[in-house]
Amino acid sequence: MRLDFEDADVIQLEGRQLTPSKAVAEDGSHLRTIAREAVADIEEKFADRLEINRDLSRSLVSFQANKSEPFYRWFKYREGFSKPLIEYFIEHSNVSGTANVLDPFAGTGATCFVANERGLAATAIELLPVGSNFIRLRQAIFGVEPAEISAWMHEIIEDRPWERTNGRISFSHLRITQDAFGPETDDALARYRFWVSKQPQPKKQFCDFLSYSILEEISYTRKDGQYLRWDYRSPRSKVRGKFDKGKIYTFDEAIISKAQSILYDLSKGSDDLLSKLNPSQAVSNITLFEGSNFEALEKIESASVDLVVTSPPYCNRYDYTRTYALELAYLGCSEEEIRRLRQALLSCTVENRPKDLQGVVSDSAIGKGVAAFEANDAIQASIRFLEGEAAAGALNNTGIVKMVRGYFTEMAIHIAQLARVMKPGGRIYLVNDNVRYNGLDLPVDCILSAFAEELGFRCEKIWILPMGKGNSSQQMKLHGRSELRKCVYIWERLPS
Ligand SMILES: C[S@@+](CC[C@H](N)C(=O)[O-])C[C@H]1O[C@@H](n2cnc3c(N)ncnc32)[C@H](O)[C@@H]1O
- The rounded percent of the chain whose pLDDT value lies above 70 is 87
Interatomic CA distance for residues 110 and 93, integer angstroms: 17
Distance between Cα 350 and ligand 1 center (Å): 17
Interatomic CA distance for residues 100 and 422, integer angstroms: 10
What is the separation of C-alpha 336 from the centre of its chain, rounded to a whole number of angstroms?
22
pLDDT of 321: 95
Distance between Cα 131 and ligand 1 center (Å): 8
| Nearest protein Cα to ligand 1, atom 20 | 292
What is the separation of C-alpha 114 from the centre of its chain, rounded to a whole number of angstroms?
17
- Evaluate whether 490 touches 427 at the Cβ level (below 8 Å): yes
- Evaluate whether 8 touches 24 at the Cβ level (below 8 Å): yes
Pocket test residue of 72, 79, 111 for ligand 1, highest count of atoms within 8 A of CB: 79
pTM of the model: 0.90
Question: Which ranges in 81-170 belong to alpha helices (H)?
Answer: 83-93, 110-117, 129-141, 146-154
Question: What number of CA atoms fall less than 13 Å from residue 26's CA on the CB side?
Answer: 6
What is the separation of C-alpha 139 from the centre of its chain, rounded to a whole number of angstroms?
21
Would you say residue 72 has pLDDT above 80?
Answer: yes
- Backbone φ and ψ for 379, nearest 5 degrees, come out as -75, -35
Of 311, 385, 392, which is closest to residue 348 (Cα–Cα)?
A: 311
As a whole number of angstroms, the longest Cα–Cα distance in the chain is 73
Q: Which residues of 344-368 are buried (b: 16+ CB within 10 A; e: fewer)?
A: bbbbbbbbbeebebeeebbeebbeb
344 pocket-lining for ligand 1 (C-beta < 6 Å) = yes
Distance between Cα 103 and ligand 1 center (Å): 9
360 pocket-lining for ligand 1 (C-beta < 6 Å) = no
SS3 of residue 40 by DSSP: helix
SS3 of residue 213 by DSSP: coil
325-383 pLDDT per residue, tens: 999 999 999 999 999 999 999 999 999 999 999 999 999 999 999 999 999 999 999 99
Interatomic CA distance for residues 224 and 220, integer angstroms: 13
- In sequence order, what are the residues at sequence separation of 6 or more whose Cβ sits closer than 8 angstroms to the Cβ of residue 253? none
Distance between Cα 299 and ligand 1 center (Å): 18
SS3 of residue 333 by DSSP: coil
Which ligand 1 atom is nearest residue 125's CA?
Answer: 21
Q: Is 113 exposed, middle or buried (0-12, 13-18, 19+ CB in 10 A)?
A: buried
347 pocket-lining for ligand 1 (C-beta < 6 Å) = no
| Nearest protein Cα to ligand 1, atom 26 | 107
Mean of pLDDT values over 452-463 = 98
Domain ranges of the chain: 12-96+109-120+287-305+332-493, 143-277
255-293 pLDDT per residue, tens: 999 999 999 988 875 555 555 555 544 545 789 999 999
Interatomic CA distance for residues 351 and 343, integer angstroms: 8
13-44 pLDDT per residue, tens: 444 444 443 334 434 389 999 999 999 999 99
Q: Which residues of 185-204 are buried (b: 16+ CB within 10 A; e: fewer)?
A: bbebbbbbbbbbeebeebbb
Question: Which ranges in 422-464 belong to alpha helices (H)?
Answer: 444-454
Would you say residue 432 has pLDDT above 70?
Answer: yes
409 pocket-lining for ligand 1 (C-beta < 6 Å) = no
The lowest-confidence range among 2-11, 325-334, 365-374, 434-443 is 2-11
Specify whether the backbone of 435 is left (phi greater than 0), alpha (psi in -120 to 50) or beta: beta
113 pocket-lining for ligand 1 (C-beta < 6 Å) = no
DSSP for 219-249? SSEEEETTEEEE-TTSTTHHHH---------
Q: Tell me how crowded residue 139 is: count the other CB atoms within 10 A of its CB.
A: 15
225 compared with 135, residue with greater pLDDT: 135
Angle between helices 270-277 and 251-267 (to 10 degrees): 100
Which ligand 1 atom is nearest residue 105's CA?
Answer: 12
Distance between Cα 44 and ligand 1 center (Å): 30
126 pocket-lining for ligand 1 (C-beta < 6 Å) = yes
